Amino acid sequence: MRPKEPTFRCGTKKAIDELVAKYNYPYADWMQDWPYEIADSKEIKNYFLHYEEQTDKDKKFILMEMLIQALTHIENRREFDENWTRLKQLLVKDFKIHEYTIFYWSCFGENLSNCWNVTPFMRELWREIKNGN
């Protein structure tokens, strides 16, 4: 059964502009899916550092999208697991910011073979949080 979809959330232009300026991220106006387009698995440690520096919820939201996208490109299982553990802690801690993001990456209603490698982890996290485990 597909859970009820939470309120939609997306990154703001203001937060993107501020992150681009602060961290010198690449940016062009045509980049519709900006956080996903620039995310690089080799930079995941920097994304974690940048995330942990933030107090602004909109910036955290965008950096989390970058973190998840970067994680999906990590093929080494040990490295994936280590980064997932760290990422999961942030998702739990800031669940109110990332509820829609977790739901999105969970791909409820889809066969896992049509989803990202992080999808089963996101589904499990969703269930843990919603069931209070």
- Kindly report the pTM of this predicted structure: 0.94
Distance of CA 129 to the CA centre of its chain: 16
Would you list the domain boundaries of the chain?
A: 13-98
Residue 97: burial class (beta carbons within 10 Å; 0-12, 13-18, 19+): middle
Mean pLDDT of successive 10-residue stretches along the chain, which has 133 residues: 91 94 91 91 97 97 97 97 98 98 96 94 96 79
Residue 31's pLDDT is 86
Residue 101's pLDDT is 98
